Amino acid sequence: MARIEIKSEITGTVWQLRSKPGDKVESGDTLIVVESMKMEIPVITEDPGTVKEILVKVKDPVAEGQVVAILDG
């Protein structure tokens, strides 16, 4: 299986986790929601797979380009 890294596209704070390890996800699914400047920005996957790890928790700060989740594809 391929390891797929999911990265945040924006700097902000984790507002919501919408998936957990073991979940099967499809292209376009939202895994995490990041709050930045009072806007909710979804972190989506472009590839289908199974969530292996979520590397952040609610209220964690995240940086643009930071890996926030790992999928097995």
Residue 14 belongs to a domain with what CATH number?
2.40.50.100
Count of domains for the chain: 1
Residue 30: its pLDDT value, please?
97
- What mean pLDDT is reported for the chain? 96
Q: Is the pTM of this model over 0.75?
A: yes
- pLDDT digits over 21-35, tens only? 999 999 999 999 999
Q: Is the pLDDT of residue 1 over 90?
A: no
Q: Mean pLDDT, to the nearest integer, of 62-68?
A: 98
Task: Print the domain residue range for 16.
Answer: 3-72
3-state secondary structure of 35: strand
C-alpha 40/C-alpha 69 separation (Å) is 18
Task: Give the total residue count for the chain.
Answer: 73
C-alpha 25/C-alpha 31 separation (Å) is 8
Residue 70: its pLDDT value, please?
98
